[in-house]
Amino acid sequence: MAPEGSYTSDPDGCARVVEFRQMVQSLHGLGLKAVLDVVYNHTFAAGQRSRYSVLDKVVPGYYYRRMENGDICMSTCCNNTASEHAMCERLIIDDIVHWAKDYKVDGFRFDIMGHLMLSTMKKIQAALAALTLEADGVDGKGLYIYGEAWDFGEVSSNQRGVNASQGNLGGTGLGSFNDRFRDAVVGGSPFASPLFQGWVTGLGTASNQLMQEGMSEEACKDLLMEYTDQLRLSMAANLQDYHMHSFQGEMKAGREFLYSCQPSAYAKQPWETVNYADCHDGQTLFDQQGEAGVGLEEMTRVQQQQSCKHGVDLLTLLQATIVETELLNAQFFNADWGKVIMKARDGTSVEDRCRINMLGLATVALSQGVAFFHAGSDILRSKSLDRDSYNSGDWYNKLDWSCKSNNFGVGLAPGSKNNAAWPLHKPRLVSELQPSANLIKLCRHATV
């Protein structure tokens, strides 16, 4: 549980500790705060033989969650930890306190937080709240905790205990990424076609070919109205008890609006909602989409959820996307699908695409709750349509603060996560959609 050595001047010895502390101190000196992205829900390796395995060499088999046949659960991507086990929970809590006290970070962003138990997260809150400036050098009550509160896998619907998923967070003060906001703004979901449109990308007002052929005009307008309700609710912090008129004229509480057959609103306090349009290693708002990586089984599940609201039109459209985008490999993946390049109607000028980008950012900025911006969205940042840039290097993750380029069209995104979507990417990675330096600077100025 130490800082990563590859970022330091000397990976051997204590340089990583000293330089991380110096970094945080320097950020504080600039008036900035440092939030640490933590991953406690899984480990890269397990077992006795792997050189990268640690926990199984301490107490074999104890720290991991298992299926009925004894295999380690892998729903997060790899070896799922079991925070419902007392000493696994203790390890997580102690490590969080260590980072707060000894490195003076200002908050924590939990990767796949929904795979941790809610009781664990509450104990973390209590442990941090006990830290004081006088005794510990940090006011623990001022630290913000938020994360990905998705409900899936072996812990879904509280199968292994009450988990830290969206439906269980109301009133806890824990923040959660608001996928309702994201889907309404840009359209669709991680499991729908990359061309599926939303509120800012032209649904019902400038429909692209997919929407025109897959849904009737009336169905598009109804979905736009539902997205509008979803967005209005999210911009009011997605509060369960917030009352507003639906597009059908009914006065309803937030919890009575539906999102894929579940209550749309889950928060009881504004800081429990983190509104965003794009984030992390997903595509940027300018070009991101959710293409390859959805399995047929998962697609069918989402079709069933969506069709309970929209009937055959939407079900048929989602079925068509399986063929269209060759979604044949099954894996769950992060979803931040901005889709300005992919979703806007063919023929939309680069200037109008920039306006779409700025409108998306405006909805985030003007919403109640916690506004979350992907680094570089204000300068139209592109990763050349890369959907998972975690290991793509500087070529695709580049940020050009000089505003001469937004890094669009630097090549087809790496094939390991994007090859199934290359047929969609190739005709779109053209110079006509590259914004000029003047457009980039104009967008940055408008954001500031």
DSSP string, 340-405: HHHHSPTT--HHHHHHHHHHHHHHHHTSBSEE---TTGGGT---TT-S--TTSHHHHH---TT-S-
- Residue 73 amino acid letter: C
Annotated active-site residue 148? The verdict is: yes
Annotated active-site residue 84? The verdict is: no
Tokens of 33: 């705060």
Which phi-psi region, left, alpha or beta, contains residue 409 (left: φ > 0; alpha: ψ -120 to 50)? left
> Residues 207, 307: contact at Cβ < 8 Å?
no
Catalytic residue among 56, 89, 106, 111: 111
Helix or strand holding residue 177 (H, E): strand 175-177
CA dist 138 → 6, 106, 107, 285, 438 (Å): 28, 9, 11, 35, 44
In sequence order, which residues have a C-beta less than 8 Å from that of residue 232 and are 6 or more positions away?
244
- Residue 199 amino acid letter: W
> Residues 83, 123: contact at Cβ < 8 Å?
no
CA distance 202 to 284: 18
Catalytic residue among 89, 106, 148, 226: 148
In sequence order, which residues have a C-beta less than 8 Å from that of residue 317 and are 6 or more positions away?
193, 196, 210, 211, 214, 215
Look at residues 140, 150, 217, 157 and name the one whose alpha carbon lies nearest to residue 182.
150
Tokens of 298: 């998962």
Q: Which residues are catalytic?
A: 111, 148
